Amino acid sequence: MSAATEAFLAMLAAERGAAANTLAAYRRDLAQAEEAIGDLAAADRDAVGSLAGEWSSLAPASVARKASALRQFFGFAIDEGWRGDDPSGALPAPRTRRPLPKVMGHDQIAKLFARAEEEASGEDPAAVRLLALIELLYGSGLRASELVSLPLSAVPRDAPFITVTGKGGASRLVPVGTRALEALGRWLAVRPQEPASRYLFPSRGKEPFLSRVRLFQLLKELAARAGLDPAAISPHVLRHAFATHLLEGGADLRVLQTLLGHADISTTQIYTHVDAARLVALVNSRHPLATRATSD
């Protein structure tokens, strides 16, 4: 990569506190753009516009993500005095629709947890760990990256809360239910002590903690053993189920935003589609005019 793009990535890490996954995505998108048109700090408007052809086979969401990375880079390049113009107007701007989240039904959740609890009925560390993992995914709505990187010090002691570091390094307090606390206690009782690790879910490989990919695999394998479609289940689907089922139970959208760690309420509002029937019933039962008879 060019020195300019490396400097941009360094700025994202130092000044904006971008997460490792975010930096990796920016690095990948910028590197691919440079492979196509050369040094981005020197690329002219026509060269930047030619990226639309390079991206023609990609999904609109992928094109939008790549274009966003380049727009931010060009803004940085102008601020640094490396460019006097902004060629980002030549980038494609596809319209994207936020996809509706996949949601597990209550019966699917019950089957998944029944299988996990059956397998963890003994003292097998792997089974007990998996139960603790899914209890935190569904019981507290953690992101996969937040869950696997939890430090050992995050385990609740005096209060049923854990401090989670989310996107952009933002921290939030997340409640931990009785079931999850019990599962965590069982995991700590069988958690390997050697080699010593500061992470709640240490890895036996080169990584310091369980990887997101391995978590994904473990959940898919559990789903298959529970008689569920593995393709329909992932750590993020369990997070969606947490949000959806809380909303169904009457949770306030602002509270849900806080629990999920969403910076913008519009991100949380996507969950309202799953509970349209409840909202209609609420209007019909609570609106001042609902009890008045309609005129002939």
Query: 234 with 262, same domain?
Result: yes
127 within a domain of the structure (yes/no): yes
Q: What is the model's pLDDT at position 296?
A: 47
263 and 182 within one domain: yes
pLDDT of amino acid 292: 61
For residue 100, being part of any structural domain is answered with: no
Residues 193 and 268 in one domain: yes
Residue 101's CB is within 10 A of a number of other CB atoms, namely: 16
Q: What angle do CA 277, 280, 286 make, to 5 degrees?
A: 135
- Do 134 and 264 share a domain, yes or no? yes
| pLDDT score at 98 | 58
Q: Are 161 and 127 in contact (CB under 8 A)?
A: no
Angular region, 287: left φ>0, alpha ψ -120 to 50, beta rest: beta
Q: What is the CATH number of the domain that holds 79?
A: 1.10.150.130
Same domain (yes/no): 146, 50: no
Structural domain range at position 224:
106-280
90, 125, 158 - which closes a domain: 90
Number of independent structural domains in the chain: 2
Residue 246 inside a domain? The answer is yes
Q: Tens digit of pLDDT per residue, the chain (296 long)?
A: 889 999 999 988 887 777 788 889 999 999 999 999 999 999 999 999 999 999 988 888 889 889 999 999 999 999 888 988 999 899 988 765 555 566 788 899 999 999 999 999 988 999 999 999 999 999 888 989 899 999 998 887 777 888 888 777 778 888 888 999 999 999 999 998 877 889 999 988 778 899 989 999 999 999 999 999 998 899 989 988 888 888 888 888 888 888 888 877 777 777 766 555 556 666 777 767 666 654 44
Residues designated as active site: 143, 167, 236, 239, 262, 271
Q: Is 234 contained in some domain?
A: yes
CB within 8 A of 282, min separation 6: which ones?
Answer: none
Q: Largest Cα–Cα distance of the chain, in whole Å?
A: 79
pTM more than 0.75: no
Residue 291 lies in a domain: no
- Check whether residue 141 and residue 274 sit in a common domain: yes
- Both 182 and 84 in one domain: the answer is no
